[in-house]
Amino acid sequence: MATTHDGFLPISKEDMVERGWYYCDFLLVTGDAYVDHPSFGTAVISRVLEDAGYRVAILSQPDFRSEADFVAMGRPRYAVLINSGNIDSMVAHYTAAKKRRHDDSYSPGGKAGRRPDRAVTVYAKLARRAFPDVPVYLGGLEASLRRFAHYDYWADRILPTVLQDAGADGLMFGMGERSVLEIAANLKAGKRGADVVRHVRGTAYLTQDKEDISFPAVWCPSLDEVLADKVKYAESVKIQYDQQDHITGKAVVQKHGHRLLVQNPPALPLTTEEMDKVYGLPYQRTYHPSYEAEGGVPAIAEVQFSIIHNRGCFGGCNFCSLAFHQGRFISSRSHESVIEEAKRIAQHPDFKGYIHDVGGPTANFRFPACKKQEKHGLCRDKRCLFPKACANLEADHTDYLTLLRKLREIPGVKKVFVRSGLRYDYMMADHNDEFFLELVKYHISGQLKVAPEHMSDHALYYMGKPSFDVYERFKKRYERINEKLGKKQYLVPYLMSSHPGAELSDAVHLAEYLNSIGYMPQQVQDFYPTPGTLSTAMYYSEIDPRTMKPVYVAKTPEEKAMQRALLQWRRPDKRALVIKALMQAGREDLIGYGKECLIHPRPDEHFPHLHDRKKQAGSARHGGAKPRKTVSPSAREQKRPAPRRKAGWAKPKKKR
């Protein structure tokens, strides 16, 4: 069954015929269900091509056991474009513990199993079998982060560029609007092979000829070198990261056997006018009606009535792929564009008056961190917010606050929430309380989610996050504003365990702190080594690419489980792991009856250090030496000053 649905792009040959099409220019294949919303890359790229006059058909979640679904769509005139969906297919399928997930919010009915592992590679091979003479180009997050030789956590080894395994003609990395239009124009003009992409920024391709390198280039260690030497792998990642600025970045070349992988410099960010045009295209803002019978597509729930107002993030967390994919330079839409989208949302029949989010990668970034970045690019060996806010940082929320005020005034809008990540360190660099005050008053509901990730400065250094002291000052400021407004709202922190550099003693220190403030997180994220991040390079190589110095990495399932368990020490199912972790860390002093202890012994449990204390106490009562707290040498070395009890996270609000 396939019938034309007004407003959506065709999803079958029958849809095309009903439109009067007997071919399409581009067949866009995706691992997600087809959702025509600007939060989905498939929707954006297809609408951009449509706006340029091309015929685009969508092949969503095709049968990956044969090329039959590809053949049924008919041969596209110019190319097959492939992405795995909004997220990496391996992340969609597996947890950080490599356990299979039971659901998939980007599939109809939330059912898993509709896409293959390593989706872009599988789809590319099927496209080749279906249309041997049609060019194939990869895009989206999965392809973007695998464009070089990379460590693959699931295979636990270095894999070559995804272009080699997929056999594709080229790859678009980052935000692809400019790249895809240039590729489309080159194909339309009759260009073939490397000529299609070699002059296009934001692309990567394989070639045997050095003459195909069109931009000034730097070379990074080859596939053979990174396979043989982890130091070379760390070096290659550092070189690749250093060239990801659209102003200063050069092409990066990596030898793969007898061929050369060439990554051209990043695409230029869209201007405000160009972003306005992209987000003003005729998106239907929902999933294709053909999924209704299966219960729709769950992923739409959080974004249907949300607005993206910016791109890029200069926060630069080491575990985040944004710097390698979307870039650190901030681009933003005009107020008029955002307001027009909000007005369209307000007219939607299912809209209840609540705009769920006005954000992006980081909600409170509206412009580059400093004026220098607009002409000279971002600093290569400096971060805007790490280890502390740069002296040149222009921390100003005035424009964002003005935008939020305008949105609150739109008829039919009851509440405008901010749910994307807020950089609290950027907020602390802004000494004007005006934005903070209105955020607390109008734009959160009971709780504010932020991401300190840890409280050990040792661990935070390897994460690329600021000192925990910044969070403590933020929390006090937040509490002061809530008190001023007569509100009782809470902070909900995101915490991460087992990040490279974080030792068992760091996890114990964090558990002590959480215990001292009476807070235990319900959810903790284990570090997930996904392709394209500095932290993943640390995990594999045990070297920090920033300094080329060794870094400790918790790799065994047991130690990772212990670090995670320490952050949820009260849970009965974690008790044995917590005890083992404390004993291994030499922190038996945290097993006992004091309020500072994480584990209170049960009647049937025997701990030698407690037995020794009882003997010492008995000796003291009979004239012997006074009992003395026994601390092992390892504990004495690792124990740190007790955290201040007045700081920390508030208890979560009880559900009624």
On the question of pLDDT at 633 being above 90, the answer is no
SS3 label, residue 245: coil
Q: What is the pLDDT of residues 570-595, one digit of tens each?
A: 999 999 999 999 999 999 999 999 99
What secondary structure, in 3-state letters, does 493-559 show?
EEEEECCCCCCHHHHHHHHHHHHHCCCCCCCCEECCCCCCCHHHHHHHHCEECCCCEECCCCCCHHH
Question: How far from chain centre, in Å, is Cα 95?
Answer: 14
Q: How far apart are CA 202 and CA 244, in angstroms?
A: 10
CATH architecture observed for domain 446-656: 2-Layer Sandwich (3.30)
CB contact at 8 A, 101 and 95: yes
Q: How far apart are CA 569 and CA 228, in angstroms?
A: 41
CB contact at 8 A, 545 and 241: yes
Q: How many CB atoms lie within 10 A of CB 246?
A: 18
On the question of pLDDT at 640 being above 60, the answer is no
Superfamily of domain 13-211: Response regulator (3.40.50.2300)
Domains 13-211 and 305-421+432-439 share a fold: no
Mean pLDDT rounded to a whole number for the chain: 92
CB contact at 8 A, 559 and 116: no
Least confident of 138-152, 605-619, 629-643: 629-643
Q: What is the pLDDT of residues 349-406, one digit of tens each?
A: 999 999 999 999 999 999 999 999 999 999 988 999 999 999 999 999 999 999 999 9
Question: How far from chain centre, in Å, is Cα 558?
Answer: 26
Q: Is the dihedral of CA 182, 52, 67, 133 positive or negative?
A: negative
User: Is residue 320 part of an annotated ligand binding site?
Assistant: yes
- Which CATH number applies to 305-421+432-439: 3.10.580.10, 3.30.1490.190, 3.40.50.300, 3.30.750.210? 3.30.750.210
**pLDDT given at position 6:** 79
Q: What is the pLDDT of residues 475-512, one digit of tens each?
A: 999 999 999 999 999 999 999 999 999 999 999 999 99
| All structural domains of the chain with their residue ranges | 13-211, 305-421+432-439, 446-656
**pLDDT given at position 421:** 87
CB contact at 8 A, 186 and 78: no
Q: Of 343, 346, 15, 56, whose CA–CA distance to 6 is shortest?
A: 15
What is the pLDDT averaged over residues 140-162? 97
Q: How far apart are CA 507 and CA 347, in angstroms?
A: 49
Q: How far apart are CA 394 and CA 114, in angstroms?
A: 46
User: Is residue 313 part of an annotated ligand binding site?
Assistant: yes
